[in-house]
Structure 1
Amino acid sequence: MGFLDFVYYSFIAVVVIQVVYYVFFFSKFAFIKPEKEQTKKLSVSVIICAKNEAKNLQNFLPSIISQIYPDFEIVLINDASTDDTLEVIEAFAAEHNNIKIVDVKNIEAFWGNKKYALTLGIKASKNDYLLFTDADCKPVSKYWIHNMCTHFTDKQSIVLGYGAYSKIKKSFLNKLIRFETLVTAVQYFSFAKVGIPYMGVGRNLAYAKKEFFNANGFINHIKLRSGDDDLFINQVATKDNTAICFSENSFTLSLPKTNFKDWIKQKRRHISTAKYYKLNHKILLALLYSTQLIFWVIAPILLITTFKWQIVVGLILIRLTLQYTIFGLSSKKLGEQDLLIMLPFLEVFLIITQLTIFINNLISKPNHWK
């Protein structure tokens, strides 16, 4: 077998694997219809951990306070901030009696560890259901709490939501950030639908307090400063206890990074936790990424050499058609339709960026929670 023959058959195998992912995994979210919401009278604690977030709290906390929901408290955790975060929190608490303050001081054993601060906040919360977001996040509607909480049932104690990023016109970086966020959401929503939940995002995540205490909190990965959201969900989520929420009123909106350096730094922290996922999750995600990478490496080689080009073009079209169909339906659900026009370019750029981050993480450890 010659070199081009080997490349050609490898390409066929890669396309087949990609088709399997799109048909048997990602289509589960793309073609799902929203479930009819059931009103539930649950008492909820909204948990927000803030470290040097005075300005963001002033801008975004009112959107949490003004939520239309009968029974909720807001637990504001000041994680050893050096700015005016505590003063801002105290000012809001003086005006609203459903705000609880948790002021965390650094201690040597957990210096700069967000999980320690979150643990104190969770223990201080009074309600049995917890809804998490970040200090720089804004719910897109006054019914965020309501929409997320409708998915709790006697069996389903974890709800995965969508945390979008604000749009910035004429910014390729903004499109790349939003595309990466869309891809990640499609993956964790789809895997959850097929019974393999593996992560959630702390910008929009809810779970019953019992899940936290049954797992002994973050103890299994307390020494890892990242992973208070994805590693915890990777540990406790099952096919039976996990629901997804993707109704438009359930989204949160965050401020995106505005330069590549800051975004890469952020993604290095996020990606560093993936190696601690369960083995089957790591295999599925590694196979997905590697076949995406190989597809875009091999396709140009076969096209340039015109080796069995008719079949190669056909395989490329099959894969792209599936991709556009799945991401077209998914992006409509999540309000990211404007990304479709640049889909192949964004995918290639994201694959290269992720490879660079992976290599950098092997060389040096990423920085963590501020």
Structure 2
Amino acid sequence: MLIPFSPVLWLLALCVLVQLYYVGYYFLPFARRPAEPTAAAAAGPVSVLVCAHNELENLRRLLPLLLQQDYAPGFEVILIDDRSGDDTSPYVQQLTQYYPNVRLVSVDRTPDGLSPKKYALTLGIRTARHEQLLFTDADCIPATSQWISHMQRGFARPAELVLGYSPYVPGPGFLNKLIRFETLLTGAQYLSFAWRGRAYMGVGRNLAYTQHCFRTTKGFASHIRSLGGDDDLLVQDAVQHGQRATVVAEPAAHTLTEAAPTWRAWWRQKRRHLSAGRGYRLADRLRIGNFIGANLLFYITAVALLFSRADWVPLAVLWGARTAAICITYAKLGRRLDDPLPAVWLPLLDVVYFFHYLALGISLFLYRNLRWK
């Protein structure tokens, strides 16, 4: 005989079951996966591409670390100067005199209606000498001198797309923790989904693909007028064209970057990233939407049940079981990806993140105007 709980409580239980499915099928198995092999078939030389717009100070930090990479087959570094008004071009030109593997591509203007970054990247890719392309952003740094080596091993599995992870550097304050939590949760999704054979996105801060893959998708042609999506929408197109994707998520393969310093800056950044989601395949939108929706509905339903005295006990049980499961899972993912967060903060970060996600969704629905640099 069924216990006469309210229908809202049964809805809450369903939300918990959906979340536990993602935890049990995607996140925990990914966190527990075997260590990636330390040796693989030798990959070929690689072109490392960095697109920069007024990023001189960041480039002074990044480029020396790229040149110190330990990668025997060899590599070139292509810096794409996208309409910079600072001294980016003279600085890189100076480097080219001492390092023959450094090359500069200058973009003076972007044709009307085209995404500046996608146009700049396209010009850079056209000049690349090697088949394998590795991308990062000017405000990132490789975590180790083995970054290129680790990322290139993914091509030998074999694959045409290699998805990496790019955490933010720990810092003081709640915003930094929230940004790192969002990055961990996003990484848990796109990395574990790809690990299960359902790749749907990557991050341009740490992404690799072949020239053949880029030509197969006709570059950024399908979304060249959209500001965002030089990474995730390209992955969408590549998967639709039958290109194979793999994951390289060992800590030595990470790139690191500084988190947005203000709420406003992070808000603009996330609006731009989420806007690309409209171009995802239906199956991917449903898979992601079910996870996000189940979490949001869980919190909304739980708040409603707080006003139902008779359901306080089952509510507490479901809340406790769900919170324990996700906190344990996120802690394991953080350790596996070398991006740990204080365990005591995880429940609060989870609540704030999903309501922040809801606010972003409403904002994108009401105001669709976006700005690039």
TM-score of the aligned structures, taking structure 2 as reference length: 0.94
Cα contact 2:114–2:224 (8 A) shared by 1: no
Task: Give the distance between the partners of 1:75 and 1:358, measured in 2 at CA.
Answer: 36
1:91 and 2:94 are equivalent in the alignment:
yes
Give the Cα separation in 2 of the matches to 1:112 and 1:207.
20
- Write out aligned runs for 1:6-17 (5 A): 6-17=7-18
Say if 2:49 is the partner of 1:47.
yes
- Please show how residues 112-131 of structure 1 align to structure 2 within 5 Å: 113-131=116-134
Once the 2 structures are TM-superposed, how far is the Cα of residue 286 of structure 1 from its aligned partner? 1.2
The 5-angstrom pairing of residues 1-370 of structure 1 reads 5-39=6-40, 40-70=42-72, 71-110=74-113, 113-153=116-156, 155-169=158-172, 171-237=173-239, 241-370=244-373
- 1:303, distance to aligned residue in structure 2 (A): 4.1
Of stretches 183-192 and 318-327 in structure 1, the one that deviates more from structure 2 is 318-327
Instruction: Tell me whether 107-116 or 196-205 shows the greater mean CA deviation.
Output: 107-116
In structure 2, do the counterparts of structure 1 residues 93 and 191 end up closer, same or farther at CA, with 3 Å as the change threshold? same
Distance 1:307 1:366, change over 3 A: farther
The residue identity in structure 2 corresponding to 1:215 is: T
Q: CA deviation at 1:4?
A: 7.5
Q: Structure 1: any 5+ residue segments left out of the alignment? A: none
> Which secondary structure does the structure 2 equivalent of 1:196 belong to?
coil
- 1:367 Cα offset (Å): 2.6
Cα distance in 2 for residues equivalent to 1:118 and 1:215? 14
RMSD: 1.8
CA–CA separation in structure 1 for the residues paired with 2:194 and 2:342:
24
Cα distance between partner residues in 2 of 1:359 and 1:339: 30
Could you tell me how far apart the structure 1 residues matched to 2:366 and 2:153 are? Answer: 44
Q: Percent identity?
A: 34
CA distance in 2, matches of 1:362, 1:84: 39
Secondary structure of the 2:167 match is strand
Count of aligned pairs: 367
Provide structure 2 residue ranges, at least 5 long, that are not aligned to the other structure. Answer: none
Distance 1:112 1:14, change over 3 A: closer
Structure 1 position 154, deviation (Å): 6.1
